[in-house]
Structure 1
């Protein structure tokens, strides 16, 4: 039988979110219903509320989530009721040309649940990133459920569902950071700090954090930054070069996604170095680069979508690192809140007061 639960929706552009009743259908073929235990508040959810993704209102917000599978539909074999899972928005198809080439992290045909969750009056909801996890339960494609160690805290583990994975993967998967390398990360919010933490885990020895907020730079040191630069007070390109023997960093991650920060990243990389764009630009932004420098300096200019991750490979590995005390997922959790506090969490995020507010739905299970 379909179930009615509480969920947070954005009904129209720019309006405060609402906590309402939503209807979750029984899972159909290839689908799963998940009892959500915790879900992080990501900037992407705010983009949805502001109409910055598309205009398919009303949206069921939330996507950085972990919980327990309640039920699965016909044909589902990879997860079963009772499994502890992290939700992902890249359920790979296994059949497209990227998957056929052995590069499923680039899957061009990722999928979501076929059925729609609705409001009590039958209005169909658009789930954020195909997940919609600011809710007591959600319906997803079974491939969006990644089994991990059930001893992990849902509050921390759920953050791998988006921002933390994006940052870690930008440094490690896309940037290829390795032992003894240098890296500079421009923008030290949740994604940037995850890139810093990833570089530390991978063995980078010079890890440079760049931001305009001293609070964020202090936090970046906790995640492994060896040096910090406040770009309000100093030229970041000049300072990155000073800290790398005049050469520039092996990898520079732009976790902001603006033309000016991208140009800083381009200018601050070493010869044959790598620039990784993981911050999300707006459609109107453009960047102009001297083509002779693009050619003459070699290396690579890359974009990183979801940290070029493969959830089935990366989520369990990162949870294991977390459980071993080698990757501080707990450090990203600034506060725990209820479903009724999402709007205030957006305000805190815009002020720069938090890395992540986390909605805790099942306090006992989420420990």
Structure 2
């Protein structure tokens, strides 16, 4: 029997979100229903509200979530009713060319629930990243529900569902940072600070956090940055020179761009050592273009990489990172700045612009 629950919906571009009743259907084959316990407020949700991803309104927002499986459909074997799960947007297919080559972190055919959740009048909802977790319950593909040990704080665990995993994975999986490396991270919001934490976890000897905002730089220090650079008022050359000054004049072994703009990518490109690595994890918008001399690309060598979801495998990475958190090796709780009810999502979008929070987390 379908459930009628409360959920946060964006009906039109730029309009404030609304808390309304939505209908969650019984799970079909390969689907599960999850009682959402907590869900982080991510910039991606704001991009959905603003029409920056698709125009398939209305959207059911929210995707950085953890909760408990309350119902399973036929053919579900990876989770059972009562399991604690973190939701993910990489439900690998196991059959595409990437999966067949042993690279499921690049799966080209990740899947979502086949059935739509709807408004009470039957209007289908588009769930953010195929999840839609600013709701008391949500319907997802079984592969989007990653089982973790019970008892973990859902406000902490849910952040692995997107931004924190993207940042940690950019450092640990994509780069990958090696013990003794020097690392610079440009942009110290939630993803950038997670990249700082990932570099620290990997054993970097020097981690340089770069941002316009002093509050964000202080956040970065709390999760592992050894040095900070305030880039307010600095041009590209000045930022590159500041990185060089902190890396014995050479530049960083790894530079992670957590902003995703042409100017920050160029800072990353020229701020690395010869044969160093650039990792782009900040998401650019479609109109952004990059203009750089090809001779510079050739002459500097190294690697230029993009990181998709931190190149993670949820079933491998979520439990492992939560275990490290439990051991005190990964300060995931530092990313939870405030806990809010479903009614405060719109206010949390406004708070994002202040730089005072890493994550607002909806707790149900």
What band does the TM-score fall into relative to the shorter chain? over 0.9
Matching residue within 258, 262, 276 for 1:259: 262
2:341 corresponds to which residue? 338
How many angstroms apart in 2 are the aligned matches of 1:271 and 1:150? 46
2:326 corresponds to which residue? 323
Matching residue within 312, 317, 327 for 2:315: 312
How is 1:175-186 mapped onto 2 (pairs within 5 angstroms)?
A: 175-186=175-186
Deviations 1:328-355 (A, max 9, x none): 1110011000000000000001222211
Q: Which stretches of structure 1, 4 residues or more, deviate above 4 A after TM superposition? A: none
2:104 corresponds to which residue? 104
Contact 2:5–2:22 under 8 Å retained in 1: yes
2:187 corresponds to which residue? 187
Matching residue within 278, 291, 302 for 1:288: 291
The Cα of 1:297 is off from its aligned counterpart by 1.2
1:364 corresponds to which residue? none
Contact 2:216–2:356 under 8 Å retained in 1: no
How many angstroms apart in 1 are the aligned matches of 2:91 and 2:330? 25
The Cα of 1:47 is off from its aligned counterpart by 0.3
Structure 2 segments unaligned to the other structure (5+ residues): none
How many angstroms apart in 1 are the aligned matches of 2:197 and 2:339? 22
How many angstroms apart in 1 are the aligned matches of 2:16 and 2:311? 33
1:198 corresponds to which residue? 198
Secondary structure of the equivalent of 1:351?
A: coil
The reply to whether residue 350 of structure 1 matches residue 353 of structure 2 is yes
1:248 corresponds to which residue? 251
2:42 corresponds to which residue? 42
1:77 corresponds to which residue? 77
The Cα of 1:174 is off from its aligned counterpart by 0.5
How many angstroms apart in 2 are the aligned matches of 1:263 and 1:194? 21
Number of residue pairs matched?
361
The Cα of 1:20 is off from its aligned counterpart by 0.3
Deviations 1:289-340 (A, max 9, x none): 1111111111110000100001011001011011111111110011000000
The Cα of 1:233 is off from its aligned counterpart by 5.0
How is 1:49-64 mapped onto 2 (pairs within 5 angstroms)?
A: 49-64=49-64
How many angstroms apart in 1 are the aligned matches of 2:211 and 2:87? 30
Secondary structure of the equivalent of 1:262?
A: helix
2:155 corresponds to which residue? 155
1:271 corresponds to which residue? 274
How many angstroms apart in 2 are the aligned matches of 1:37 and 1:198? 26
Deviations 1:158-190 (A, max 9, x none): 000000000001111011101000100000000
2:8 corresponds to which residue? 8
Secondary structure of the equivalent of 2:353?
A: helix
The Cα of 1:232 is off from its aligned counterpart by 1.4
Structure 1 segments unaligned to the other structure (5+ residues): 362-367
Root mean square deviation, CA, Å: 0.7
- Greater CA deviation, 340-349 or 285-294? 285-294
Secondary structure of the equivalent of 1:149?
A: coil
